[in-house]
Structure 1
Amino acid sequence: MADNHSFDVVSEINQVEMHNAVTQAQHECAVRYDFKGTKAAIEYNKKDEVLTITADHKGQLETVIQVLKEKMAKRGVAVNALVRGDVEEASHDSVREKVTIHSGIDTDDARKIVKDVKQMKIKVQAQIMDDKVRITAKKIDDLQAVIAHLKENGPRYPLQFVNFT
């Protein structure tokens, strides 16, 4: 039996499922009656993890984003991983919005997580490792308490708990 148990706190999404959700949303935008003859479209840059959503007006833009969110939810991709940008005017009287997909834990948020864990007053160690936080303890119950606390009080973007040993 190991002396110490640990897990990593990360923030990432399943890239394959995200691609499938975007593809389904693009297909729905292409065939939906209320989008026929409009500029409603979704472009996905996988490398930069950026979605460019184009529509005729802001109302239609919101509808396209709602379609994307529905497809993401059906495929098990966290909807709150989307970070919306500013709506900007595009060519030919259309609007565009760049939506980024959040991945990794920011340094400031990692510090907040470590601080929150230390304030819990249980015997665990937390350390920042690049874009993840490693939590170590002697008791598995302590680690489960930390997971429950972070699910309740963590940042607004999705967190996953991986490499549980």
Structure 2
Amino acid sequence: MPSFDIVSEVDTVEVRNSVENSVRDLATRFDFRNVEASFELKNETVKLTAPDDFQITQMMDILRNNLAKRGVDPRSMESKKSVPSGKTWSKEVVFRQGIEIDLAKKVVKMIKDEKLKVQASIQGDKVRVTGKKRDDLQAVIAFLRGSDLEQPFQYNNFRD
């Protein structure tokens, strides 16, 4: 019976490369000369620090551009609120790995509401879709790509 998995993963190597490119861009920018601003990557979390909130927003733009160049979907990042601490501002950006339960339930409901001849089940942080025909599974993939969900999905483990 054909099946595939719906997952949401971020390539951590590409995120690391994007952060390193952002650090290089920051060093060459004229408006960040003699400014204590930095990007720091720890466990799928990027911490931005700068002396001003406006500079944090500029740094977010630099990071988004470098992520887009590396093929990382910007919907996979979740930015927290800017927090002042002393003379500096900081902001954390978390990259989501896996599908949360609420979103997985929403995806399963959307698939069932579409009345396709497939079965969708939640298995941990992914959703497995099985069906009798390969065309039905491809219709599910096309349907999910067309829908506007708050997280990017990848479709892997396609078996016949």
Provide TM-score, normalisation by structure 2: 0.95
Q: State the alpha-carbon separation in 2 of the partners of residues 147 and 31 from structure 1.
A: 42
Q: Secondary structure at the match of 2:158?
A: coil
Q: State the alpha-carbon separation in 1 of the partners of residues 94 and 113 from structure 2.
A: 32
Aligned to 1:12: 9
The Cα of 1:154 is off from its aligned counterpart by: 4.9
The Cα of 1:98 is off from its aligned counterpart by: 1.0
Output aligned runs, 1:8-87, within 5 Å.
8-45=5-42, 47=43, 49-87=44-82
Q: Provide the aligned C-alpha RMSD in A.
A: 1.1
The Cα of 1:66 is off from its aligned counterpart by: 0.6
The Cα of 1:82 is off from its aligned counterpart by: 1.0
1:114 aligns with 2:111: no
Which structure 2 segments of 5+ residues have no match? none
Which structure 1 segments of 5+ residues have no match? none
Tell me how many residue pairs correspond in the alignment. 159
Select the residue among 76, 93, 100 that pairs with 2:94.
100
Percent identity, aligned pairs only? 38
Q: State the alpha-carbon separation in 1 of the partners of residues 58 and 134 from structure 2.
A: 44
Aligned to 2:121: 127
Provide TM-score, normalisation by structure 1: 0.92
Q: State the alpha-carbon separation in 2 of the partners of residues 26 and 104 from structure 1.
A: 27
Q: State the alpha-carbon separation in 1 of the partners of residues 75 and 61 from structure 2.
A: 12
1:148 aligns with 2:142: yes
Moved over 6 A (4+): none
Which amino acid letter does the alignment assign opposite residue 101 of structure 1?
Answer: F
Any idea what the Cα deviations from partners look like across 1:126-153, whole Å, max 9, x if unmatched?
0111000000111111111111111122
